[in-house]
């Protein structure tokens, strides 16, 4: 027997939470995200028929739809998907598939899963907002047309399997352009001057010059003057200061702060936030707004005054920066401010704590600081030194949100006091270009430029990495030496220090594929890659949602010029795209050595292709690019594959570089040798790695039944495989005892791999 009311939400977790609050007259079911989508084939958007979409029911959603149809019989249906464009589209698709009238079907939305919010939503249902649905379908059509028409161009001109996207390609362009700025930067040398003084009680006081100096000779003269000087406190400047809390979290700022404070990627942050929301612990996590409801503000006021005292409370309102803010109408906040700790696991708990602290801090008083600068004058030089201190006089919001670093309390000194110089140092530093993007700073840049929507940033940044356009990792830098001059006990000593110039950790940098694709698209699809154009598209989507423009008009305005660019790109040659750069000639053969982008990525080529001879190919050396690889480096690579030695059985060991990095090969066995160099690895090192590989393979292979079926030890435990299908071995079963027949049975009973359509947030 069906209930009087059927509430349809997106996720099972959300359904379970809502069921706690609704009475017995309500059944809550999940659509498991989208139930229909655009199939990945030509013609899914019918351009000739006003860009009509041809939706299809996802194969794995047919059972879900059947269950929803059964539950909907005789019931009042309440569509309760998320309140954003994507959620509105899901509600519309459900109405279409269940044959419900969108003009009369009850649509409810809420920004937090609490009983008051649900009761309020039930009391005030609305109908499906068709302009929101139209805006989502326009975005979907734009992304489909760009991807489906532009990606094949990349396959033909650059490399098979590549893809392009309306937002992702522009995001890659940002990373590529930043890398080129860094590469073009000419390092400038300056010296920083620091000193350490000792006081009468033995306390040490560090200080530094507010200026930077050019050249070791200038620093040498200053240190010579310091060696003859007496040092006197000439001024003590104390200034009060304040530090104010930041606004509560939006989608974008949550991703940035979780990255900076917790080390979470934007995608992981959104996964955790989704679970917290579905569990009823935080408000909706896809929002551009920094508003907090009056009800929540009242609860926070009571909590802050009760827990910390009235002196810590200050009501604050923040202005939403984004002109197109149109998702949820509140910032991300806890649904219950009195709950300091929540979450199903440690990662969720950390993110919840961050949200709780940021929200509470936004309604607290500023921190009061006292900043002190002590100016120190040398008697024989005009160059002054400064010792700086900062202490927190009143912690205010920092009581909850914390601060980086500790108080720097300066010793009690008075004007005219003399100080004893312990040592002074002049250290050379080399200027660096602009900083590479982190995932957090790329999110901030995309938001500043109005590219995409904050709810899409996590998937965009994940996509450009998974598709090998951008990598996140460590940059080794270039070995350089800097000068150091130290004055101690009246003598100046000069030395040199080795540094890795340009070294970076955990930053985003483009791959060669990313550079080549960006250069091609920027040259031949300039409008699509234009930052302002991408921003304007987002504004037009907002206009559709606000009933200012219609979907067909926006798509026509975009598609005509875009399709013309696709047609014109047919005349572009692969040679132009390859960005070939001749490095010089091979001294032995006289053949040209060329660095270029090939069908499988960046590579080196010796000789030109003609009817009689085929060129030789080699990979780029590690740490080089098409732009900076030298002839000397390239010539070394043509020595590969290199014979390293032989095994005890007389098999030849060869070293080479492949798609996944350096390796050695013995027969049909390949062994990674990262981070070793294939040009220098010794026979002893190779034999050691080969032996370790054989041992690991032996331990992994528990049994081989000879017909393709094997028992293996995997990362998540023992399993049976036939090469295409895997089956877990029960914990209570010893994998060594599994027979051939048991293995076949386990494979036959194992479920087939599921395919599913990810929900794309708008």
Rounded CA separation 261/253 (Å): 12
Domains annotated for the chain, with CATH where assigned, are 5-128 (3.40.50.140), 189-243+369-430 (2.70.20.10), 251-361 (1.10.290.10), 579-637 (no CATH), 642-701 (no CATH), 705-749 (no CATH)
pLDDT at 755: 45
Of 26, 264, 284, 312, the catalytic one is 284
Rounded CA separation 500/504 (Å): 9
pLDDT in tens, 513-559: 999 999 999 988 888 898 988 889 989 999 999 999 999 999 999 99
pLDDT at 528: 85
pLDDT at 327: 44
Reply yes or no on whether the pLDDT at 623 is more than 80.
no
Reply yes or no on whether the pLDDT at 407 is more than 80.
no
Average pLDDT over residues 411-428: 93
Reply yes or no on whether the pLDDT at 486 is more than 50.
yes
Quick one: tokens of 55?
């939706």
Average pLDDT over residues 459-479: 90
pLDDT at 762: 41
Name which of 301, 295, 324 is nearest 454 in CA terms. 324
pLDDT in tens, 697-755: 877 888 888 888 988 888 778 899 988 889 889 888 888 888 998 988 888 888 766 54
pLDDT in tens, 423-444: 999 999 999 999 999 999 999 9
Reply yes or no on whether the pLDDT at 42 is more than 80.
no
pLDDT in tens, 256-301: 999 999 999 999 999 999 999 988 999 988 888 899 988 899 999 9
Rounded CA separation 501/499 (Å): 6
Reply yes or no on whether the pLDDT at 408 is more than 70.
yes
Helix or strand run (H / E) with residue 688: helix 683-700
3-class DSSP state for residue 246? coil
- Written in H, E and C, the secondary structure of 128-176 is CCHHHHHHHHHHHHHHHHHHHHHHHHHHHHCCCCCCCCCCHHHHHHHHH
Reply yes or no on whether the pLDDT at 758 is more than 50.
no
- Written in H, E and C, the secondary structure of 73-99 is CCCEEEECCCCCHHHHHHHHHHHHHCC
pLDDT at 326: 46
Q: Contacts for 473-480 with beta carbons within 8 Å, 24 or more apart?
A: 473/506, 473/507, 473/509, 474/503, 474/504, 474/505, 474/506, 474/507, 475/436, 475/502, 475/503, 475/504, 475/505, 475/507, 475/509, 476/500, 476/503, 476/623, 477/501, 477/502, 477/503, 477/504, 478/502, 480/430
CA of residue 79 relative to chain centroid, distance: 33
Average pLDDT over residues 372-391: 94
Reply yes or no on whether the pLDDT at 405 is more than 80.
no
pLDDT at 621: 82
Pairing of strands 470-475, 367-378: unpaired
**In this structure, are residues 487 and 225 in contact, taking their beta carbons and an 8 Å threshold?**
no
pLDDT at 233: 95
Average pLDDT over residues 318-324: 66
| Dihedral (CA of 538, 540, 546, 547) sign | negative
Q: Is 284 a catalytic residue?
A: yes
pLDDT in tens, 549-572: 999 999 999 999 999 999 888 888
Rounded CA separation 586/634 (Å): 10
Using a pLDDT cut of 90, give the percent of the chain over it.
Answer: 52
Average pLDDT over residues 325-354: 86
pLDDT in tens, 114-159: 889 899 999 999 999 999 999 999 999 999 999 888 888 888 888 8
């Amino acid at each position: 027997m069906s209930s009087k009311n059927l509430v349809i939400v997106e996720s099972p977790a959300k359904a379970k939470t809502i069921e706690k609050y609704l009475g017995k007259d309500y059944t809550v079911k999940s659509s498991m995200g989208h139930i229909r989508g655009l199939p990945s084939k030509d013609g899914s958007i019918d351009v000739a028929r006003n860009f009509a979409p041809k939706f299809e029911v996802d194969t794995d959603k047919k059972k879900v739809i059947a269950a929803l149809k059964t539950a909907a019989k005789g019931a009042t249906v309440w569509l309760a998907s998320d309140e954003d464009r994507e959620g509105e589209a899901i509600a519309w698709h459900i109405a279409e598939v269940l044959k419900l009238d969108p003009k009369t079907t009850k649509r409810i939305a809420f920004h937090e899963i609490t009983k008051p919010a649900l009761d309020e939503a039930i009391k005030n249902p609305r109908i499906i907002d068709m302009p929101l649905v139209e805006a989502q379908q326009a975005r979907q059509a734009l992304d489909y047309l760009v991807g489906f028409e532009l990606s094949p161009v990349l396959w033909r001109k650059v490399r098979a399997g590549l893809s392009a996207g309306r937002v992702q390609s522009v995001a890659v362009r940002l990373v590529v352009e930043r890398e080129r700025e860094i590469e073009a930067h000419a390092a400038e040398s300056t010296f920083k001057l620091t000193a350490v003084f000792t006081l009468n009680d033995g306390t040490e006081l560090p200080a530094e010059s507010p200026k930077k100096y050019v050249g070791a000779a200038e620093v040498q003269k200053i240190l010579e003057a310091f060696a003859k000087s007496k040092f006197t406190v000439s001024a003590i400047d104390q200034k009060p200061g304040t530090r104010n809390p930041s606004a509560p979290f939006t989608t974008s700022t949550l991703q940035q702060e979780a990255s900076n404070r917790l080390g979470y990627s934007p995608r992981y942050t959104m996964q955790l936030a989704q679970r917290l929301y579905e569990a009823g612990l935080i408000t909706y996590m896809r929002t551009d707004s920094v508003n907090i409801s009056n009800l929540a503000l009242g609860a926070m006021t009571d909590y802050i005054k009760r827990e910390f005292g009235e002196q810590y409370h200050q009501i604050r309102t923040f202005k939403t920066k984004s002109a197109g803010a149109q998702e949820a109408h509140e910032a991300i906040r806890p649904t219950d401010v009195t709950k300091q700790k929540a979450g199903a696991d440690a990662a969720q708990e950390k993110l919840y704590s961050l949200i709780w602290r940021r929200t509470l801090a936004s309604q607290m008083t500023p921190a009061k600081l006292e900043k002190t600068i002590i100016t120190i004058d040398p008697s024989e030089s005009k160059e002054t030194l400064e010792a700086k201190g900062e202490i927190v006089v009143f912690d205010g919001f920092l009581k909850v949100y914390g601060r980086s670093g500790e108080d720097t309390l300066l010793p009690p000194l008075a004007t005219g006091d003399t100080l004893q110089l312990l040592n002074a140092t002049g250290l050379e530093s080399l200027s660096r270009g602009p900083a590479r993007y982190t995932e957090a700073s790329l999110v901030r840049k995309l938001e500043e430029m109005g590219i995409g929507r904050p709810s899409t940033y996590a998937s965009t940044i994940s996509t450009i990495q998974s598709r090998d356009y951008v990598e996140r990792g460590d940059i080794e830098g270039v070995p350089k030496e800097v000068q150091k001059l130290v004055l101690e006990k009246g003598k100046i000593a000069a030395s040199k220090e080795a540094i890795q110039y340009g070294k970076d950790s955990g930053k985003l940098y483009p791959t060669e594929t990313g550079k080549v694709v960006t250069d091609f698209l920027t040259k031949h699809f300039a409008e699509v890659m234009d930052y302002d154009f991408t921003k304007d598209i987002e504004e037009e989507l907002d206009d559709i949602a606000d009933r200012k423009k219609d979907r067909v008009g926006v798509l026509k305005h975009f598609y005509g010029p875009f399709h013309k660019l696709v047609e014109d790109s047919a005349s572009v040659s692969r040679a132009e795209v390859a960005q070939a750069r001749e490095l010089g000639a091979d001294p032995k053969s006289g053949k040209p050595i060329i660095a270029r982008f090939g069908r499988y990525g960046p590579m080196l080529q010796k000789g030109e292709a003609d009817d009689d001879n085929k060129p030789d190919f080699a990979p780029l050396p590690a740490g080089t690019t098409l732009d900076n690889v030298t002839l000397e480096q390239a010539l070394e690579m043509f020595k590969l594959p290199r014979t390293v030695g032989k095994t005890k059985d007389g098999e030849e060991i060869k070293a080479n570089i492949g798609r996944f990095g350096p390796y050695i090969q013995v027969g049909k066995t390949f062994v990674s040798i990262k981070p070793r160099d294939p040009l220098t690895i010794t026979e002893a090192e190779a034999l050691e790695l080969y032996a370790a590989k054989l041992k690991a393979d032996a331990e992994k292979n528990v049994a081989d039944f000879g017909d393709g079926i094997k028992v293996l030890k995997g990362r998540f435990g023992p399993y049976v495989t036939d090469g295409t299908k895997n089956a877990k071995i029960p914990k209570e079963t010893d994998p060594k005892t599994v027979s051939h027949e048991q293995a076949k049975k386990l494979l036959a009973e194992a479920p087939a791999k599921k395919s599913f359509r990810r929900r794309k947030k708008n």
